[in-house]
Structure 1
C-alpha cells in the first residue's frame, strides 16, 4: 500500500472512530407520546428533525402512545424514560405509591382538553342527565380516568354510569352509531376526528367541558422518570430546552410542521392535522396564565388545588406536594417561553 493510501485509510479510520464516539456519547432517551401520531405532536419530531436533540447530546426514540394516562404507566415500568402525558395520572400514582411517580418538568396543556360529548339529538342536556347512560372511553384515556372527579364535583355518583371501553380510534364511531350514549374525550382529538367523519362538531355534537364544570385542571406535558431525574439531570434539562424551542417554532410555522408530520405518517390528512395543531395551541396550550408566566410553567397554588381535588375524589391515602408532581428547575428563562394567546 502506498504512503498516500495509508494516510487516506488512517484519516478515514479516525473519522469513523470519531463519529462512533460521538454517537456513543449521546444519551439515549426513549420517549412515548400520549396518542397515535397527530399534528399537535409536530414539536417532538421537529426537535429531532432540526437537530435540537442532537445539540443537547440526546438520541431520542419516539413512539406512539395509547392514552395520556398510560404514559405514566409506561414510564414507571421502565420501558420509557420520558413522555408526553397527563399530570393528573401522576398525582393519582403519587397519592397511592409515593416516590414511584414520574415528574412533570414542562406543562403544555395549560387548559385541560377534557370533555364529554353526546349527539345534539341526545336526551343528555345537562351533566346530571348522564346518570344511567353508557359512557364510552378508552381504558387509558385521561378524560375517562377523571370522570369520577367530574361526577363528584357535580353531585352524582360515577358508579351510576356504566362504562364501555373501546380502542381509541373507535371512540367517535361508537358514539355516532349509538353503541354508547356519551363519550369522555380529548377535545383536540375528537373535534378534528368528527370533521374527518363528515360531522360538524359545533352543530351535531353537544359538548360538556370539564373546565366549565368544576375541574380547573392542568393536563398534558413533558414528564420524566425518577431514574432519569436522579441519574441524568443534564439530559432532562436538554430535553426540555429542545422541546420548548421546537414548540415555539412549530407555532410560528404550522405549515412546515405539518409537512414534517406527513413524512412521519403519510396517511394523515394534512388539512385536518393543521386544524388540530392550531386548535390545540389557541384553545389549550396558551391562555391568560401562560401570557403571564410563560408556556411550560404552572402556578403552584392552582396545582395544589388540583391535587386536593383528586385526593378527595379518589380518597388517595397520601397528599402529594406540588414539588412531588412538578419540577420547574429545568425550564428555560421565561423570555424563551413566550407563546401569545393572541397569535
Structure 2
C-alpha cells in the first residue's frame, strides 16, 4: 500500500513538473508582429533567414513577418500598435518623434547606412554631372522620399532648387519616361530602380548615371529595424533577442548570400531568385556596407551624423521641434561591435 502511494505521488510530481515546465516555456515565448517596408524582396533576406534557421526561436521569439506598404508606413504600423517591430525609414521616425515623442518607434538596428535615394539619368543624356541639373526636368512621384528630399540634395550641392523643374510621375513609370526622353532625370529609390532596369533588359551600370544623394551632401540614414516603445518597456529581452537574431542572419548572408535568397524563395516561391540576388548584392554594396559600417559595425550609427540628419529633416519638413538623437535610436540592444563588422 505504501509503495502504491509512493509511486502515485511520484507520478503526480513528475507530471506536475512537466506541466509547469511546458507552461513556463510557453510563457517565455514572446510573439512579435514584424512588418516589412514593401513586398518581399531579396533585401529582406536577413529576416527570413533568421526565421528559417531558428535564430528567432533560439531567442524565445515567435516572429510573424508581413509585407509592407512603404518605408514610412512601417512607422505608422508600429505607432498604431498593429505591429511590434518592422523594417522602415529612420527619417520617418524623426518626423514622428517631433510630434509624438512618447509614442514614436525607436530604431534599434540600422541596416541602410547610406540613403537609397538617387537621381537617375541616361548615360547619353544631357546631365553628366550635378552642375548640369539646372534647366532640366526631373520626374518623381509626389509623395516619395526621393522627391521630398531632392531640394535638400540640391542645396547641399550649392544648386538653387528653383533652377530645376520637377514633374509628378507614377512610380511604376519612372524608368520608362526617362528612357523615352519625357524627363531628363528620375528621382528614384535606387535598389528598386536598379532591378526595374534589369527586368527591362537594360544595363543599370553601362546605360545610366547614378547620382546618389549620400554622395552629394545629403548625409542621412535610411531603413533599419525599429520597435515600439511598448516593446522596449515590456520586453527588453525580446528586443535584444530580435536584434541578435537578425544580426546573426546578416553575418551569415555576408558569407553566403545565396542562403539568404533561398530563405526568401522558401517564403515567396514566385520571386526570381537570380534577380533578387542581384538586388541583395546591390543593396549590400551601396547601402549596407560603407566606410562607416566597416568602422562601427552594421546596426550602429554615428551620433554626430544622426544629429545632422535630424537637422536636415527638421528643416526640410518644417518640424516644430527637433528630437534628440537618443530618442530616435538606441544602441543598448546591439551585439558587440566585432560581431557586427561586415
Q: What interval of TM-score do these two structures reach, taking the shorter chain for normalisation? A: 0.7 to 0.9
Q: Note if 1:307 corresponds to 2:276.
A: no
Question: Displacement of 1:49 after TM fit?
Answer: 0.7
Q: How many aligned residue pairs are there?
A: 327
Q: Structure 1 319/221 Cα, relative in aligned 2: closer, same or farther at 3 Å? A: same
Contact 1:90 1:325 in 2 (8 A): yes
Choose the corresponding residue for 2:227, options 219, 224, 227.
224
Q: Structure 1 53/130 Cα, relative in aligned 2: closer, same or farther at 3 Å? A: farther
Residue pairs, 1:281-292, within 5 angstroms: 281-292=284-295
- CA distance, structure 2, for counterparts of residue 138 and residue 49 of structure 1: 38
Determine helix, strand or coil for the equivalent of 2:71. Answer: coil
Residue 8 of structure 1 corresponds to which residue in structure 2?
A: none
- CA distance, structure 2, for counterparts of residue 262 and residue 138 of structure 1: 33
Residue pairs, 1:212-251, within 5 angstroms: 212-251=215-254
- CA distance, structure 1, for counterparts of residue 134 and residue 268 of structure 2: 37
Alignment root-mean-square deviation, CA: 2.9
Q: Structure 1 311/266 Cα, relative in aligned 2: closer, same or farther at 3 Å? A: same
Contact 2:134 2:163 in 1 (8 A): no
After superposing the two structures, state which structure 1 stretch, 146-155 or 193-202, moved more. Answer: 146-155
Choose the corresponding residue for 1:40, options 33, 40, 43.
43
Residue 136 of structure 1 corresponds to which residue in structure 2?
A: 140
- CA distance, structure 1, for counterparts of residue 210 and residue 111 of structure 2: 22
Question: Displacement of 1:163 after TM fit?
Answer: 4.7
Q: Structure 1 153/204 Cα, relative in aligned 2: closer, same or farther at 3 Å? A: same
The C-alpha deviation readout for 1:5-37, integer Å capped at 9, x for no partner, is xxxxxx99x989976874564211111111221
Gaps of 5+ in 1: 1-10
Question: Displacement of 1:176 after TM fit?
Answer: 3.6
- CA distance, structure 2, for counterparts of residue 68 and residue 158 of structure 1: 28
Q: Structure 1 18/109 Cα, relative in aligned 2: closer, same or farther at 3 Å? A: same
Q: Structure 1 158/289 Cα, relative in aligned 2: closer, same or farther at 3 Å? A: same
- CA distance, structure 2, for counterparts of residue 71 and residue 227 of structure 1: 16
| Greater Rg by CA | 2
Instruction: Using structure 1 for the length normalisation, give the TM-score.
Output: 0.85
Q: Structure 1 19/269 Cα, relative in aligned 2: closer, same or farther at 3 Å? A: farther
- CA distance, structure 2, for counterparts of residue 38 and residue 188 of structure 1: 10
Q: Note if 1:166 corresponds to 2:170.
A: yes
Contact 2:140 2:146 in 1 (8 A): no
Choose the corresponding residue for 1:111, options 114, 128, 135.
114
- CA distance, structure 2, for counterparts of residue 65 and residue 170 of structure 1: 21
Contact 1:119 1:205 in 2 (8 A): yes
Determine helix, strand or coil for the equivalent of 1:83. Answer: strand
Contact 1:136 1:181 in 2 (8 A): no
Q: Structure 1 119/307 Cα, relative in aligned 2: closer, same or farther at 3 Å? A: same
- CA distance, structure 2, for counterparts of residue 31 and residue 328 of structure 1: 20
Determine helix, strand or coil for the equivalent of 1:328. Answer: coil
Residue 202 of structure 1 corresponds to which residue in structure 2?
A: 205
After superposing the two structures, state which structure 1 stretch, 53-62 or 185-194, moved more. Answer: 185-194
Contact 1:152 1:313 in 2 (8 A): no
Q: Note if 1:264 corresponds to 2:275.
A: no
- CA distance, structure 1, for counterparts of residue 121 and residue 328 of structure 2: 33
